[in-house]
Amino acid sequence: MSPGAVVDTDSAREFHREILALLGPEDLESIAADLGRKSQALRGLLGGDGRPPGRAALREALRWVFATRRRADQVIDSVGPRRAATAVTRLLRAREPVAARFDAFDEAFAPAGDLAFDLPGELLHFTDPDRYWLWTRWLWDPRTRTGALRLVTADDAGLADGASRGEAYLAVGRATAFVDETGKAAGFTAAGPGLLGTDVFLAAVYGIYMYTVLRMRLTQEFNRVVPVLPDLIRRLLGVYHLEG
């Protein structure tokens, strides 16, 4: 399947135009650089000698994730520090296929419920961004079939494929790869190296989408409730507070 058969290029270009009307290329590049710092931090926390991380390192890693930043201790305590650390190590280091590792992580973190939805994709991607891709609920939510990827891909992009979350992660990866390839050629994912530029583009797409939807719903309350676009993008990507 060619990238053009998956990516809705017209929609992606329109989103890019709307993004550049609110942000300059230097703003997007700055966010991508922040993602590089996030990746470096997570590799330092979780990519050491192969032993399971201690609670302090695990807590700091979870605080780099938007969905768990304020609830890192709650997630760790619900799963159990030892079980959580072992599951993270298996996810990042086992030789099993990535879909199987993803499913095993989900099983271990089931006591955390929806709070853990974004964690495996975040940890895989930012500890090895050249090999793995991001999956968060704002990128693709299979229950509501919404998200940034859905906004810039065709109806038959395969996002709903997969009998398990691990298989769904592979489907998200295929769609992300097509967006990245098309975006690099068209210039709308050029903010950073590799998939980091694609992360920034997709977060900005979702930010524009939120602006559009919330403006209709909130009218005068909009400016008070919703952060400015650069801050919103950084929040979605977990780099609004770089102290982690």
For residue 3, what pLDDT is reported? 54
Mean pLDDT (the chain) is 91
Burial of 152: CB neighbours in 10 Å, binned 0-12, 13-18, 19+: buried
Question: How many domains does the chain fold into?
Answer: 1
Please report whether residue 189 resides in a domain: yes
- 198-238 per-position pLDDT tens digit: 999 999 999 999 888 766 555 655 556 667 889 999 999 99
For residue 160, what pLDDT is reported? 84
Distance of alpha carbon 239 from alpha carbon 244, whole angstroms: 8
Strands (E), 110-210: none
For residue 221, what pLDDT is reported? 59
Please report whether residue 243 resides in a domain: no
For residue 244, what pLDDT is reported? 39
Find the mean pLDDT for residues 181-190. Answer: 92
Please report whether residue 34 resides in a domain: yes
Tell me 194's DSSP state.
T
Please report whether residue 221 resides in a domain: yes
- With a pLDDT cut of 70, the percent of the chain lying above it is 91
Whether residue 1 has pLDDT greater than 90: no
Task: Give the long-range contacts of residues 134-141, CB within 8 A, separation 24 or more.
Answer: 134/176, 134/195, 134/199, 134/202, 135/168, 135/169, 135/172, 135/173, 136/66, 136/67, 136/236, 137/67, 138/203, 138/206, 138/236, 139/172, 139/202, 139/206, 140/172, 140/175
Residue 214, SS3 per DSSP: helix
Please report whether residue 82 resides in a domain: yes
φ and ψ of 153, to 5 deg: -125, 165
Please report whether residue 207 resides in a domain: yes
Please report whether residue 242 resides in a domain: no
Please report which helix (H) or strand (E) contains residue 36, including its range.
helix 25-46
Domain that holds residue 67: 3-236
Please report whether residue 241 resides in a domain: no
